[in-house]
Amino acid sequence: MIAHLINTDIGDRGILSVYLEYRKENFNFLHNSAKLFLDNIERVLIVTGFPIPPMMLAETDGPPGALALYRAVEMLGGKAEILTYPEVEMVLEPFGVSFARVPEPSDYSLIISVETSGRAADGKYYSMSAMEIKREPLDGVFIEARSLGIPTIGIGDGGNEIGMGKIRELVVKYVSHGERIVSTVETDELIVSAVSNWGAYGLLAQASFEVGKNLLENWNEREIIGVLAKGGLIDGVSKTRSQSVDGISAEVHERIVGLLKAIVNEAL
Round to whole Å and give the CA distance between 114 and 24: 23
- Could you tell me which residues come within 8 angstroms of residue 30 by beta carbon, excluding any fewer than 6 positions away? 2, 3, 191, 202, 203, 206
**CA angle at residue 174 from 169 to 178, to 5 degrees?**
65
Question: What pLDDT score does 94 carry?
Answer: 95
Round to whole Å and give the CA distance between 48 and 79: 17
Question: What pLDDT score does 155 carry?
Answer: 98
Q: Is the pTM of this model over 0.85?
A: yes
**CA angle at residue 104 from 102 to 105, to 5 degrees?**
130
Round to whole Å and give the CA distance between 27 and 125: 29
SS3 assignment, position 255: helix
Pick the CATH number of 1-267 from 3.40.640.10, 3.90.1640.20, 3.50.50.60, 3.40.50.720: 3.90.1640.20
Domain positions in the chain are 1-267
SS3 assignment, position 39: helix
Question: What pLDDT score does 13 carry?
Answer: 78
pLDDT in tens, the chain (268 residues): 899 999 998 878 789 999 999 999 999 999 999 999 999 999 999 999 999 999 999 999 999 999 999 999 999 999 999 999 999 999 999 999 999 999 999 999 999 999 999 999 999 999 999 999 999 999 999 999 999 999 999 999 999 999 999 999 999 999 999 999 999 999 999 999 999 999 999 999 999 999 999 999 999 999 999 999 999 999 999 999 999 999 999 999 999 999 999 999 999 9
Question: What pLDDT score does 11 carry?
Answer: 77
